[in-house]
Structures are given as structure tokens and as C-alpha cells.
Amino acid sequence: MNLMHEDLARAHIDARLQQARVLRRSSQLERARRLTRRAERANQQARLLLARCL
């Protein structure tokens, strides 16, 4: 009986760890998207500034 409880607890912990990994990965992807958009805006602003100077 005790082993069954340990197995259930282990399975629960594994499920929580997997869920945490998924959430962390989605957060990393969202951060990468934000940084990419910011870099694209900075690039566009630099191009406009350069075009005005020429």
C-alpha cells in the first residue's frame, strides 16, 4: 500500500515538473517574440533616420 502512495506521489511530481517545463518554455518563446519585435522596430527606426540624413 505504501509503495502505491509513493508511486502516486512520484507521478504527481513528474506531472507538475512537466507542466512547469511547458510554462517556462512558453514564457521563453513569448519573451523571444517580444525581443524580436523590439529589434525589428529599432531596425526600422534606424533605417528611417538614415534615410532622413541622406
Domain ranges of the chain: 1-54
Q: How far apart are CA 47 and CA 3, in angstroms?
A: 65
Residue 19: predicted pLDDT: 96
Please list the ranges in the chain whose pLDDT falls under 50. Answer: none
Q: Where are the alpha helices (DSSP H) in 1-54?
A: 2-53
Residue 11: predicted pLDDT: 95
Burial 7-24 (b: 16+ CB within 10 A, else e): eeeeeeeeeeeeeeeeee
